[in-house]
Copies of this chain bind each other. A is one copy, B any other.
Amino acid sequence: MATSMPCSPLAPAGFPNLPVIPGVKFATVAAGIKYQGRTDVMLAVMDPGTAVAGVFTQSSTRAAPVLDCQTKLGGATDSGAAILVNSGNANAFTGHYGQDSVAEITRSLGDVINIPVSRIFTASTGVIGEPLPHARITDRLEVLAAGLQSDTIKSAAQAIMTTDTYAKGAGAQVQVGEKTVSIAGFAKGSGMIAPDMATMLVYIFTDAKIEQSALQALLVTQANTTFNCITVDSDTSTSDSLMVCATGASGVDVTGDSTFAEALHGVMLDLAHQVVRDGEGATKFVEIRVTGAVSDADAKTHGLSIANSPLVKTAIAGEDPNWGRVVMAIGKSGAAADRDLLSIWFGDVLVADKGWISPDYREEDAAAHMKGQELVIAVDLGLGDGKATVWTCDLTHGYIDINADYRS
């Protein structure tokens, strides 16, 4: 479990000081779903008028809470809204019982906080295939509701952790016109770790004012270059969820505002990087920059093929500037490439120049870069203007240790 794992060597110094978001309150409780001696339920309640956007796992075996959330996006915003998340049990692969649990929790919570069920979103993360003991949650809803506070986002981040080795938060404050808009969010996830599927969950809150449809479009766009550009082990949870809630309490309309879009992007990228930095067994944080592809989509395909290759990831773990494996990963990706136009850099060191090893290349230069904790692998395909950047970590004995352990 998380509590017994040492903190990732790539972790940030600590949980950041995040701005309080007017119109949002948090509460947590220890419901004893599976874990003992820690909080395991998080409730966030937003004021009426809040726009809620979300993107979710594309898995065809997605869990009941995900299916429920997907039906609720885009509804009327005149009432309040809420998000309830439990850790310890994923309520995944639990058949119709899973849907019953979601219905029971949302109905009960709606009664307690006087918000329609259609505006109550849930997520569950933890062991799969076991029925969620939802009564342990519904029994604590009054206590949860009584504890709602605006400045307890760190506690919220901690309550949803499973095998994470640290709580992940990020925020920003930006000037839009004369006024300040705040963003604060948190995430959990660290690859998909034994004994559970370590679902990635991300919740971001802002006091910006924006229509749901515009917020949804913005979220999809920003996810494409942040959370959809990270990979730990190529495995995708059945429960991944990313939601953004805009309360509008600042009164600042950010529709189409690039400053706000950039700030949201920054918060999302920060959280996405923190998930990679907590990748199981990770000892290196790796940025893979692909340029010169036929299209941005092709560049991303190449980048993810490199980032997901076990041979590339083990070479990184071994601090080996093994550019042949990068060539291999490009070749197998399915996206367009021309062997004789390929150039590859490790850090600033040009390794391969248009299809062959650079005449100036000295392996000790690239090897020196590989000894760092933050690595850059750059690839230019020489074909067009398409580009993408993806992030991953190395594949180490630590990953095997964590994932080959027998479930306790």
Interface residues of chain A, those whose CB is within 8 Å of chain B, are 57-62, 92-97, 127-130, 192, 194-197, 233-238, 308-311, 314-315, 317-320, 322-325, 327-333, 335-340, 342, 352, 354-357, 395-397, 399-400, 403-407
Contact = CB atoms under 8 A, between A and B. Distances in A.
A356 B96 CA distance: 9
Contact of A331 (B196, B238, B333, B340): B238
Contacts of A405: 318, 320
Instruction: Quickly give the copy total for this chain.
Output: 2
Nearest to A236: B332
B339 A93 contact: yes
A327 B61 contact: yes
Contacts of A192: 311, 325, 328
A138 B137 CA distance: 76
A92 to B, nearest CB: 7
Contacts of A62: 331, 339
Given A310-B234, A339-B60, A95 B318 contact: no
Contact of A235 (B310, B399, B400): B310
Contacts of A329: 235
A400 B397 contact: yes
Nearest to A398: B400
Most B CB within 10 A of own CB, among A234, A319, A324: A324
28 contacts: A57-B331, A60-B331, A60-B333, A60-B335, A60-B339, A61-B328, A61-B342, A93-B324, A94-B356, A95-B355, A129-B323, A129-B356, A129-B357, A192-B325, A195-B322, A196-B324, A197-B324, A197-B328, A236-B328, A236-B331, A237-B328, A238-B331, A310-B403, A317-B400, A318-B403, A318-B405, A395-B400, A395-B404
B317 A352 contact: no
A331 B399 contact: no
